[in-house]
Homo-oligomer: A and B are copies of this chain.
Amino acid sequence: MPTTLDVVAILVAAGSGQRMGGVEKAFLPIGGIPLLCYSLSVVQASPLVQAAVVVVQGSSVKRAHSLVEERGFSKVAAVCPGGATRRDSVWAGLEAAPPSTWVLVHDAARPCLTEELIQRGLTAASGTGAAVAAIPVEDTIKEVGPGGAVQSTLDRSRLYTVQTPQVFAREVLRRAHQESPPGPSWDDAALLEALGWPVCVYPGDRRNVKVTVPEDLELVEALLSRRKGS
């Protein structure tokens, strides 16, 4: 019987990089190092995480495998192909992961992951079984209609921008994936929310930026080069 680990990290990197001009983000070099390696390094070094699963596009499984071996990411228990949506990819990662009590889902497109974020996530999730990194919305948010016409300004006082890591009691996340109506979802927590399962937020980090469009690369490169320097 396999041992049940405490925490397995699922690193999701199966996006098509459409808004990045069709470049697969996982392997985008930042300071000469593939994007995926940054969060993987933090997971590898974390005393709180025992194993990791990396989810990439089907055509890139071999490439990701080589990367993991070359760089000595010994915690990676599996590299598996993702699905058509982020939800499918997380599910694939759940299926491929070794047994654990907790799962920590993280988008590899957020390379500025830190040990503090992992710690805070696990602490917060121990309460309700589900916790997501989030920061208060500081900017004004507007709803925009056709042709760029502003339709309304939202009351932002209770709005939070959600990041990853998102940490879940594994069985809860598994059930949410199985019981939620099919279709894409905004994030994993939304699946739980739809079923009425309590989800709480914990303090994210504004530097935990997501690489979505090319101009984000400059931001992330700047942040990571400073971190290396310090």
Contacts and interface: CB of A to CB of B under 8 A. Distances in A.
A226 B222 CA distance: 7
A89 to B, nearest CB: 15
A28 interface: no
Contacts of A55: none
B190 A219 contact: no
Interface residues of A, number: 53
Nearest to A163: B139
B226 A218 contact: yes
Interface in A200-220: 200-202, 205-207, 209-210, 212-213, 215-216, 218-219
Interface of A: 124, 132, 134, 137-145, 147-154, 156, 158-163, 186-187, 189-190, 193, 198-202, 205-207, 209-210, 212-213, 215-216, 218-219, 221-223, 225-226
A160 B189 contact: no
